[in-house]
């Protein structure tokens, strides 16, 4: 066991909610004793509060409020996303000041290590700050989140409710897909079972299933009985859009992700690396997740 028992999760939306609920499930067995959610507002989380999660309202521009909120916390898990990623820097400073033992960076998606552009530059800037603080940390690379991407996301190319899919690139490159509940399960298992030494400053690769988009869409159609209208955007088109619209959300940033998948950057690790620290981990398959939505 790691000895980490008290956890604070920054953010309670999307993946943060799943992590909080998984931590609470470990309270019964005694591997977790205290679960805190750090949010800008605690309104609208009655179901999580009923599970025993303590909500603390924080202001990332107020270091003192952050330090107070993190008293007696062993591990801070960041579920901060998008344009708020740099808020992890004052959060890390407060964690260090409060005596937090470990920090989990927000890394839900493609691997960021070695990348110096866009959102990856921000993520690596935060990691460099943690190294400067000598604050032990870890990263959990998950690949695209299957229950999020396939839940009616036409802007991302997947409009299954309306029977349409737009595939960026060939659709023939294997990608690591993981569901939100499985991300939370694997992360909490590692944080509570792997020694702090093994977790220190380390990346962990999670994978629910490694499959190409074409394989996924073919299996989905066969099992659901639904015919999809599938169109493709070439690699050259993706490159052109990214170059011409680098800061545009749909034309540039979304297509950059598809371009990374086409380049083979959607895999979280080698088959030997993924799920390595939990041999009995049994994650959900992609199409099973899609059919449950």
Tell me the pLDDT tens digit for each residue of 139-157: 999 999 999 999 999 999 9
Structure tokens at 42: 């605690």
225: Cβ contacts below 8 Å, ≥ 6 apart = none
Q: Taking the CB of residue 131, how many other CB atoms lie within 10 A of it?
A: 12
Residue 96 in contact with residue 66, Cβ under 8 Å? no
Q: What number is the average pLDDT over the span 249-264?
A: 93
* Rounded Cα gap, residues 92 and 100, in angstroms: 9
pLDDT for 278 beyond 90: yes
Domain with CATH 3.40.50.720 in the chain: 6-141
> What pLDDT is stored for residue 114 in this prediction?
87
Mean residue pLDDT across the chain: 96
> Considering only CA atoms, which of 158, 154, 166, 169 is closest in space to residue 238?
169
Could you tell me the pLDDT band of residue 247, with boundaries at 50, 70 and 90? Answer: confident
Q: What number is the average pLDDT over the span 19-35?
A: 96
pLDDT for 238 beyond 90: yes
Instruction: Please report where in the chains the tokens 């992590």 appear, as a residue.
Output: 19
pLDDT for 118 beyond 90: no
pLDDT for 197 beyond 90: yes
Residue 4 in contact with residue 75, Cβ under 8 Å? yes
pLDDT for 79 beyond 90: yes
Domain with CATH 3.90.25.10 in the chain: 147-174+210-262
pLDDT for 42 beyond 90: no
Q: Would you state the CATH architecture of domain 6-141? A: 3-Layer(aba) Sandwich (3.40)
> What pLDDT is stored for residue 271 in this prediction?
95
Residue 33 in contact with residue 73, Cβ under 8 Å? no
Fold of 147-174+210-262: UDP-galactose 4-epimerase; domain 1 (3.90.25)
> What pLDDT is stored for residue 135 in this prediction?
98
> What pLDDT is stored for residue 5 in this prediction?
97
Cα torsion at 64, 70, 76, 80 (round to 10°)?
Answer: -50
Q: What number is the average pLDDT over the span 213-242?
A: 97
Could you tell me the pLDDT band of residue 212, with boundaries at 50, 70 and 90? Answer: very high
Could you tell me the pLDDT band of residue 83, with boundaries at 50, 70 and 90? Answer: confident
Could you tell me the pLDDT band of residue 91, with boundaries at 50, 70 and 90? Answer: very high
> What pLDDT is stored for residue 154 in this prediction?
95
> What pLDDT is stored for residue 49 in this prediction?
95
């Amino acid at each position: 066991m790691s000895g980490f028992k008290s956890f604070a999760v920054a953010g309670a939306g999307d993946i943060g909610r799943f992590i909080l609920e998984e931590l609470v499930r470990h309270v019964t067995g005694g591997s977790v004793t205290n679960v805190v959610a750090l949010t800008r507002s605690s309104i609208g989380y009655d179901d999580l509060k009923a599970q025993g999660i303590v909500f603390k309202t924080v202001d990332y521009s107020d270091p003192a409020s952050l330090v107070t909120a993190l008293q007696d916390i062993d591990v801070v898990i960041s579920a901060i996303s998008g344009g708020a990623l740099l808020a992890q820097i004052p959060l890390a400073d407060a964690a260090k000041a409060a005596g937090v033992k470990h920090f989990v960076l927000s890394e839900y998606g493609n691997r960021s290590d070695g990348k110096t552009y866009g959102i990856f530059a921000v993520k690596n800037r935060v990691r460099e700050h943690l190294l400067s603080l000598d604050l032990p940390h870890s990263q959990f690379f998950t690949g695209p989140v299957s229950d999020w991407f396939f839940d009616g996301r036409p802007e991302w190319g997947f409009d299954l409710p309306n029977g349409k899919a737009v595939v960026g690139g060939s659709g023939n490159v294997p990608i690591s897909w993981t569901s939100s509940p499985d991300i939370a399960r694997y992360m909490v298992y590692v944080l509570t079972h792997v020694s702090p030494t093994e977790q220190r400053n380390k990346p962990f690769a999670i994978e629910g299933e490694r499959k190409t988009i074409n394989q996924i869409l073919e299996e989905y159609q066969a099992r659901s009985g639904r015919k999809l209208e599938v169109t493709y955007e070439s690699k050259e088109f993706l490159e052109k859009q990214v170059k011409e619209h680098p800061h545009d959300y749909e034309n540039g940033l979304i297509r950059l992700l598809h371009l990374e998948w086409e380049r083979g950057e959607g895999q979280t690790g080698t088959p030997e690396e993924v799920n390595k620290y939990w041999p009995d981990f049994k994650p959900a398959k992609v199409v099973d997740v899609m059919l449950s939505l």
